[in-house]
Structure 1
């Protein structure tokens, strides 16, 4: 009976690294299948995102300033 427990324990310890190794091999295989964008597309998309962030930040900042001034106006009168 003690030998059976030892065998089960050793089987479990051997299965875990194999699963991890298999997972990394599968990951590598899937990464090779990915269609990566070109450098030009990445740069273009980055510029679009940054421009959108800047425009949105200016808009939200203007709204914040406007509401601040509006509240300040009503509290002073």
Structure 2
């Protein structure tokens, strides 16, 4: 009985070709691109500044930890 249901489900759904799938993909892609909201130049500059400051703070923290661990190991050995 379950074989009959599976066969009927396959028959009811027509096969979609490769080119139709590809065309549908690009159509959907175009509609998604229309939804994009691009940041302003000021937002990009602000976000870049935030990233650079965060990288600097992280680099300094790693440098301090490295310095402390090196001196700690020198004292131990």
Shift of 1:53: 0.7
Structure 1: stretches of 5+ with no match in the other structure: 1-11
Which runs of structure 2 are paired with 1:35-50 in the superposition (5 Å)?
A: 35-50=37-52
1:37-58 residue CA offsets vs partner (Å, 9 max, x unmatched): 1111011101110110111111
* RMSD between superposed Cα atoms in Å: 1.5
For 2:65, the equivalent position in structure 1 comes to 63
The one of 13, 25, 34 equivalent to 1:23 is 25
Number of residue pairs the alignment of both structures matches: 63
Instruction: Give the Cα separation in 2 of the matches to 1:17 and 1:48.
Output: 45
Q: Higher helix proportion, which one?
A: 1
